[in-house]
Structure 1
């Protein structure tokens, strides 16, 4: 394996586990972090396999410079991983304006900006795989993490649309959607909104995270190995859920959504125009099928 990876948030958590796993398999990494000196031990061990880069993912100029530097150094990019991010807990009305903006800027705007920055290089290559580290919280909403999950729902949705858009160019995109993993997401990196009376369920979640009692089931080293294998797969998924906890949450959420959808389906159908008929529906379905066929990656027939 000699792929060139560009990984944000490489100094800690899942990003660190993934960076180490790529290097151990012989890959090359443009490893970005706010404090790249935290990657000095990897430079000592792996030498020119790793290129530490300073990157604040909310700084557009730094994004452009980091991507250009990585391409100039390694000659190409094969895998781009938008991993940098952090969590925040609290009631929706309790967050400060700065807290809301920082969540969206770091967890949604930044991966979109980095994706847009790397796409011209991948398009010219006619290849590449973008991994967006989203969350099962980008598929299932829970009290107390509404702003974090707003960003992750946006990221997973962006990924799904983008995957169809760039598949004809030979570029693959996957939203990696983990449940709880043993990183510092719910520990040192977690932020909190002020408590507000009445939001008992939200406060219970915040207290649980703050207590240090939350012990996730996910293993970041195993997740890293899965991602290494994923980028070698000829037909990778658009959404990849990681962890038994996440799988259980998503199964329940899908069942609840299906039941709600079926219950309200008569109301849904009642809003069609009186002049609409089966021919209109067939025309729309055929158009969607044609778009899907055109969106298949090269060589997937």
Structure 2
């Protein structure tokens, strides 16, 4: 049976690639984007199977799009929370408005859409939610504090959902490394106003983001195919790491955590009340 997908941020990057691979597999895609007209060529190539909607996931009431999709198509099988942007800035450089907007975009928006889709998936007996996180959902870097914080939060929520939802919904956290998605384009990458005190730590990251677009090793089309493979597997993984750089970065972090845990384990275990 063909599935109905709702993909946010569907006009470019991972969202566009995911929409294409879903359509190629015979499914129907509701592509949500700020510029839905950018999906016109997909609609022309797949008559009757592309439904473009204008959506800003940070806007009040954005989650109502879920009910609209179910009303028009009768069901919603796969939600892909993909809308996002790059944000670079030390915490001291990042304004409260910038920080709150990024949480609205990467956490509160996806949380609201996920919450909205659960009753529908419960009634229809299952479904899947794909959270487009990042290697930054596990690995940090100077200047990416706000970005990583939003992804850490989304991953924590989703891992908990996988434990508490027991009616057939699969949750997939996708953790890509560097891919050629346009996320580093001047119109996509957002830079907080720099302070000279952070030139040595955040400066190189800012230079990499502003000058690195087009040199990333990752192919978005292959990433989308990998996501589809994971969703179609008998046992969909909770996390899907994409790209050798992401695998290496996450393995390194896990190794550092293990060493620190082992080193401090005697102190950690010695904090209980002494037994009489």
User: TM-score surpassing 0.5?
Assistant: yes
1:213 to 1:186, Cα distance in 2 relative to 1, 3 A: closer
Aligned to 2:171: 173
Number of residue pairs the alignment of both structures matches: 274
Partner secondary structure for residue 93 of structure 1: coil
Q: Is the 8 A contact 1:51 1:70 kept in 2?
A: no
Paired position in structure 2 for 1:18:
18
252-261 or 38-47, larger mean C-alpha shift: 38-47
Where does 1:205-244 land on structure 2 (aligned, <5 Å)?
205-212=205-212, 215-244=215-244
Alignment of 1:6-45 (within 5 A): 6-45=6-45
Shift of 1:214: 6.6
In structure 2, distance between residues paired with 1:252 and 1:157: 20
Cα deviation, residue 211, structure 1: 2.2
Q: How does 1:39-188 map to 2 (within 5 A)?
A: 39-64=39-64, 66-166=65-165, 168-188=166-186
Q: CA deviation at 1:275?
A: 3.6
Length-normalised TM-score, structure 1: 0.88
Q: When the two structures are superposed, what TM-score results if normalisation uses the length of structure 2?
A: 0.96
- State the superposition RMSD in angstroms: 1.4
Which is richer in helix? Answer: 1
Considering only CA atoms, is the larger Rg found in Structure 1 or Structure 2?
Answer: 1
TM-fit CA distance, 1:213: 5.8
The gaps in structure 2 that reach 5 residues or longer are: none
Alpha-carbon distance in 2 for matches of 1:97, 1:8:
25
Task: Provide the residue aligned with 1:196 in structure 2.
Answer: 195
Alpha-carbon separation, structure 2, partners of 1:179 and 1:248: 10
Aligned mates of 2:238, 2:212 — CA distance in 1: 33
* Alpha carbons 1:17, 1:221 under 8 Å: kept: yes
**Displacement after TM superposition at 1:273 (Å):** 2.1
Structure 1 unpaired stretches of 5+: 277-301
Q: In the aligned structure 1, how far is the partner of 2:180 from the partner of 2:115?
A: 30
Q: Which runs of 4+ in 1 moved over 6 A?
A: none
- Go from structure 1 to structure 2 and tell me whether the alpha carbon gap of 1:27 and 1:201 turns closer, same or farther (over 3 Å shift): same
Report if the CA contact (8 A) 2:22-2:28 is conserved. Answer: yes
Q: Aligned equivalents of 2:248 and 2:100: distance in 1?
A: 31
